[in-house]
Amino acid sequence: MTTKMNGIHGQMVDFNIHHGYTEALVRGMRCSFLSDADYHHLTQCETLDDIKLNLNETDYGASVADTGSMTPSGFQSVAVQKVVTEFKYLQSQAIDPLSTFLDFITYEYMIENIMLLLKGALSGRNINELLSQCHPLGMFKESTMRSIPTFEPNARGFADLYQTVLVDTPVGPYFAMFLQESSKGGGEVRNVIEEVEIEIIKSSLIKFWIEDFYQFVQKLGGDTADIMGELLKVRADTNAINITLNSFGTSLNQPAMRISERKRLYPAVGHLYPVGTSMLADVSNEEELGRVLELFPAYSGIWNIHSTGADKSIDDAFYERDVQMLELAFEGQMHFGVFYAYVKLKEQEIRNLVWITECVLQQQKDEIEKFVPVFSFHAPWRAGSNKKR
């Protein structure tokens, strides 16, 4: 048994020696999440100053203590910066392969930032305004960030951007793969930026990232491969469903484009791949999409929430499902998935905080409970919960 596990990261042979301290750190950070009582107090607030006062009693206390009057975006910025500080500390304590795993988490934010800058440049927005909206985990050095929006919005300019700026970034290989894939078929992509929306380019890059990340965790083996692999499979399926849903009413829903372009955006991993994604490539409306998802029990329930017009969006249903899976990642030990889970659960907590502050600001108290708490004792999937799924 020992011989079989030697050299496999994420197993118990040497995990604690190399990664035990860092894993203990992230598990200790679990206590920083807002509690059910914290959410109750926040939802009773009448003003943003009340919210700030209540946050002083939480793990965000030190972050908001020295700030003046805050807006929802201000609360979001403070919360994001706190998570970034914690994540970078984890990075400083990590060694390979955990350090590479943590780098993979940041690649998604790098892609998001690059596409934000490109999209903003196309619409003529101010570079400083765009930089202020970039996620801190996806930042390059400032000269690189400022260079990204300066290129011409056409195929030649995009290629130049890759060759002179993006090639030296960690996500450069994904852009190379996109350019190579787009160039198949000769000169039909001369005006790639004009003909292919920024969101389509972004979906391609996220696809390559998911596939690359998945292959990496599978090579690690052990519980990391199982737990993180499952999280990435579900992430890939979610992307495929959302790409299909969002393509309706766009050029991507034209019969020829469904096969040549839309299908190309689906990650080559996941529970839907390859049979489900092949079927998704053929659907042309929500009714057909629903019929495909009915064949996959894990997604039929989520689709029913969307299709029946319930007081919950498909995004809300995905968020609830994700929180459940990410919380379960904390139940296992000696695997890297817990680091990914921590970052993504913090993202959900920040969404919750922004939602609550926006509802308070706009005096929409009847909507304020529509969030997905993290590690809640009242979650429908927890034993002893008095809520039904």
Residue ranges of domains in the chain = 11-91+336-363, 98-195, 203-331
Distances 201 to 45, 50, 155 between C-alpha atoms, Å: 42, 42, 12
Rounded to an integer, what distance in angstroms lies between the CA atom of residue 156 and that of residue 193?
9
Phi then psi for residue 254, to 5 deg, are: -70, 140
pLDDT (tens digit per residue) in 42-56: 999 999 999 999 999
Query: Cβ–Cβ contacts within 10 Å for residue 288, how many?
Result: 15
The pLDDT, as a whole number, for residue 69 is: 85
State yes or no: pLDDT of 372 exceeds 60.
Answer: yes
pLDDT in tens, 262-304: 999 999 999 999 999 999 999 999 999 999 999 999 999 999 9
Greater model confidence, 183 or 226:
226
Residue 22 binned pLDDT confidence (cut-offs 50, 70, 90): very high
What pLDDT is attached to residue 107? 98
For position 363, what pLDDT does the model report?
A: 95
Tens of pLDDT, residues 306-334: 887 667 889 999 999 999 999 999 999 99
| Structure confidence at residue 385 (pLDDT) | 60
Mean confidence (pLDDT) of the chain: 90
Looking at residue 155, its pLDDT comes to 72
SS3 category, 282: coil
pLDDT confidence bin for 3, thresholds 50/70/90: very low
Higher pLDDT residue, 85 or 187? 85
Residues 156 and 142: their CA atoms lie apart, in Å, by 24
**Residue 12 pLDDT:** 55
What pLDDT was estimated at residue 156?
A: 79
Per DSSP, the residues of 44-112 read: T-SSHHHHHHHHTTSTTHHHHHT--S--HHHHHHHHHHHHHHHHHHHHHH--TTHHHHHHHHHHHHHHH
> 152-164 burial, b if ≥16 CB within 10 A, otherwise e?
eeebeebbebbee
Query: Which tokens belong to 121?
Result: 């440049």
pLDDT above 60 for 189: no
Predicted pLDDT of residue 197 = 73
DSSP 8-state class, residue 211: H
Provide mean pLDDT across the span 206-229.
97
- Nearest partner of 78 among 326, 349, 316, judged by Cα: 349
188 pLDDT tier (thresholds 50, 70, 90): very low
Tens of pLDDT, residue by residue over 92-132, are 999 999 999 999 999 999 999 999 998 888 888 899 999 99
**What's the topology of domain 11-91+336-363?**
Topoisomerase I; Chain A, domain 4 (1.10.132)
Which of 284-298, 308-322, 341-355, 374-388 has the lowest average pLDDT?
A: 374-388
Please check the confidence at residue 145 and state whether its pLDDT lies above 60.
yes
Residue 79 contacts residue 68 (beta carbons within 8 Å): no
Distance CA 317, CA 335 (A): 27
Half-sphere exposure of 39 (CA within 13 A, CB side): 22
> Mean pLDDT over residues 169-174, rounded?
97
pLDDT digits (tens, 9 = 90+) for 56-92: 999 999 999 888 888 999 999 999 999 999 999 999 9
Contact between 211 and 268 under an 8 Å Cβ cutoff? The reply is yes
Closest Cα to residue 112, out of 302, 347, 338? Answer: 347
